Amino acid sequence: MHQCSGTRIWLRCETQKLIPHRTGQLHRISPLAVVCGHHNVAVGLGDQPFISPEAWQAVAQTEGDIVVATYDGVRGNPVKLRKTVWDEFFSLTTEPDAGARTLMHLHPELVREVACKGVSADIDTTEDLSQWT
């Protein structure tokens, strides 16, 4: 569900069924963001349940072309991309799962890091989950 009347766009993507890789999520979201007049898109993974709302807010509120959360100095999600970098992001021919990491490597001068509390653990399996419960 999406609406242009608010300041946020929530789009649920089931990557295995709808989209072949993470960059595909942005291909779906960015045209909607443009139509709604937004200039930034913050993205993250649905299987990272320990990323706090405060981390999302901190990344969203930080100015920059590429804004990334860090956890104990390690970059993670969410990542915010300003409209000015979308074309280059979509034109990347590197491994799709690299996501915004490739763009950050190519343009370190555009990256702003935001220190966040929490853990960016990726929970893909019941074994992953058992490590945290």
User: Measured between alpha carbons, how far is 1 from 17 in angstroms, rounded to an integer?
Assistant: 17
Q: Is the dihedral of CA 85, 96, 30, 7 positive or negative?
A: negative
Q: What pLDDT was estimated at residue 113? A: 98
Q: What pLDDT was estimated at residue 26? A: 57
* pLDDT of 96 above 50: yes
Q: What pLDDT was estimated at residue 84? A: 92
Beta-carbon count within 10 A of 5 CB: 5
Q: What pLDDT was estimated at residue 88? A: 87
Contacts of 20 (CB under 8 A, 6+ apart): 96
Q: CA distances (Å), 23 to each of 18, 31, 133, in order?
A: 12, 13, 30
Q: What pLDDT was estimated at residue 97? A: 62
Comparing 65 with 31, the larger pLDDT belongs to 65
Q: What pLDDT was estimated at residue 10? A: 45
User: Measured between alpha carbons, how far is 42 from 38 in angstroms, rounded to an integer?
Assistant: 11
Comparing 95 with 17, the larger pLDDT belongs to 95
* Residue pLDDT, tens place only, 54-82: 999 999 999 999 999 999 999 999 999 99
* pLDDT of 38 above 80: no
User: Measured between alpha carbons, how far is 84 from 20 in angstroms, rounded to an integer?
Assistant: 24
Comparing 42 with 65, the larger pLDDT belongs to 65
Domains of the chain by range and CATH?
15-130 (3.90.550.10)
Q: What pLDDT was estimated at residue 34? A: 65
N-terminal to C-terminal alpha carbon distance within the chain: 32
User: Quick one: average pLDDT of 112-126?
Assistant: 88
